[in-house]
Amino acid sequence: MNPQAGFTRRGWLLFGAMALLWGVPYLFISIAVESFSPPAIVAGRTLIAALLLLPFALRGGALRAAWTHWPWVLAFGLVEMAGPFLLLGHAELTLPSGMTGLLVATVPLFAALIALGGGDRGVLRPTRGIGLLVGFIGVAIVVAGPGLFGGEVSLLAAGEVLLVAVLYAIAPFIVARKLNEVPSLGTITLSLLMIGVIYLPIGLLTQHEVPTLPSIFALLALAVICTAVAFLAFFALIREVGPVRAPLFTYVNPVVAIILGAIVLAEPLTPGLLIGFPLIIAGCWFAATGGRLRPQAHTGPDLTVAPLPPTL
């Protein structure tokens, strides 16, 4: 189809699938860390996902193209996968999965600040500037909310998740400036493989207990469903609706994360979360798009020029 024509039925199905596939990882991470160490989770999900994507990358010659730029592919993997996957695992030892998903959704806020630092004065337009302010007010309410309305939240864990959002905001610039001509499937597969190899010995050394069946299932789901299958579905979504519309599902991901956390893990829906949630989502939308229904594709890395949401 013509990506400029809008969403087809298949496009909506893929859109819904991606909203779920990258909204559910926070639930699986929360279950996996019950008996896996965070480094073991990183090693397991990256290696398994890389092996599943490898045939697709080899068949199209994408892996060969990525290998010629391996230093930057490794840099992308460190920023997009190695750091965030470890930080998310450690943060969810104490932080509710729904809150984690919502804080990760602040990526567009940090991406806008990075773009501003790089000379993009469009960020200073009133609608985008107000979006930044509203979004960060929402973050403050989410983090401080439990303390204001009762309960506690780990500031260290919240800081780790916000650092993840910063890393996710930085990764696109590596792709755009150093890997723009490399097939995205090759970049993703090779970076997953590299990070998996790096983390494998660390994971083995830090894994001190026998994993439970729920944790094993959660780890497999992270690798197979939320990484390998999700990327293949995302590529299909881009082909169906185009690179501008494809990443819009990321605004639905926090909703999925919060609902699943409340239903499956009985996580509380605190006043701070309920008040901060719409502020963060609205702030991200206006900061990234200026309120347009067709956002410009400059806040995320490219998949053949397409923005790439966080590798959750």
Identify each DSSP E strand in the chain by its residue range: none
CA angle 114, 253, 263 (to 5 degrees): 140
User: Has residue 304 got a pLDDT over 60?
Assistant: no
- Lowest-confidence range among 61-75, 91-105, 116-130, 259-273? 116-130
- What is the mean pLDDT of the segment spanning 57-84? 94
Q: Which amino acid is at 95?
A: L
Confidence tier at 288 by pLDDT (50, 70, 90): confident
In order of 26, 199, 285, the CA distances from 211 in angstroms are: 18, 18, 40
User: Has residue 194 got a pLDDT over 90?
Assistant: yes
For residues 42 and 312, give the distance between their C-alpha atoms in angstroms, rounded to a whole number.
11
For residue 2, what pLDDT is reported?
47
Angle, in degrees to the nearest 10, between helices 230-241 and 38-59: 50
Q: Six-digit token pair at 25?
A: 């990882």
Angle, in degrees to the nearest 10, between helices 97-104 and 253-264: 170
180 against 93, higher pLDDT: 93
13 Cβ neighbours under 8 A, 6+ residues apart: none
| Most confident range, picked from 167-181, 209-223, 234-248 | 209-223
For residue 112, what pLDDT is reported?
84
User: Has residue 147 got a pLDDT over 70?
Assistant: no
Q: What is the average pLDDT score of the chain?
A: 85
Q: Six-digit token pair at 8?
A: 């087809």
- Lowest-confidence range among 61-65, 151-155, 175-179? 151-155
Confidence tier at 151 by pLDDT (50, 70, 90): low
User: Has residue 264 got a pLDDT over 90?
Assistant: yes
pTM for the whole structure: 0.86
For residues 124 and 47, give the distance between their C-alpha atoms in angstroms, rounded to a whole number.
41
User: Has residue 89 got a pLDDT over 90?
Assistant: yes
| Percentage of the chain lying above the pLDDT 70 cut | 87
Q: Six-digit token pair at 217?
A: 């299932």
303 against 192, higher pLDDT: 192
307 against 114, higher pLDDT: 114
For residue 243, what pLDDT is reported?
63
Q: How does DSSP classify residue 212?
A: P
- Lowest-confidence range among 146-150, 201-205, 276-280, 303-307? 303-307
For residues 140 and 134, give the distance between their C-alpha atoms in angstroms, rounded to a whole number.
10
- What is the mean pLDDT of the segment spanning 116-128? 78
- What is the mean pLDDT of the segment spanning 138-152? 70
Q: What are the backbone dihedrals phi and psi of residue 311, each rounded to the nearest 5 degrees, phi first?
A: -80, 80
Confidence tier at 116 by pLDDT (50, 70, 90): confident
Confidence tier at 309 by pLDDT (50, 70, 90): low
Query: Cβ distance 105 to 166 under 8 Å?
Result: no
User: Has residue 305 got a pLDDT over 60?
Assistant: no
Q: Six-digit token pair at 266?
A: 């009985």
User: Has residue 141 got a pLDDT over 90?
Assistant: no
- What is the mean pLDDT of the segment spanning 77-105? 94
